[in-house]
Amino acid sequence: MQTSKFDIADYLDSNEMIAEYLNAVLEEGNDSEIIVAIGNIAKAIGMTKIAEQTGLSRPSLYKALSVGAKPQFTTIMKVLKAIGGQIQVNPITA
């Protein structure tokens, strides 16, 4: 029996699924996991499309959104806008 590598990007096929995935990672993940999650979403939508919308090259996107990367905040904001997301702050309840 042959198995294939699990790729979350294969399952991010709707705006609702993308939003749930990213919100879960934002709530429970660390900064590196959040960056990788944004990269998974960009991959699911299409790196070429995201590159065109952000003005960044595909290689730059792959590098900025990979494990261990430390992208600039402006890069994250451009990618979030391109994937149809935004940052929202809510008060933390005790």
Question: pLDDT tens, 77-88?
Answer: 999 999 988 888
Tell me the C-alpha distance between 5 and 74, whole Å: 32
pLDDT tens-place string over residues 18-33: 999 999 999 998 999 9
Q: Is 17 exposed, middle or buried (0-12, 13-18, 19+ CB in 10 A)?
A: middle
The more confidently predicted of residues 46 and 93 is: 46
For residue 39, what are its two tokens?
């990269």
Instruction: Output the average pLDDT for the chain.
Output: 93
CB 44 within 8 A of CB 18: yes
Angle at 78 between CA 21 and CA 26, to 5 degrees: 25
Quote the pLDDT of residue 89. 83
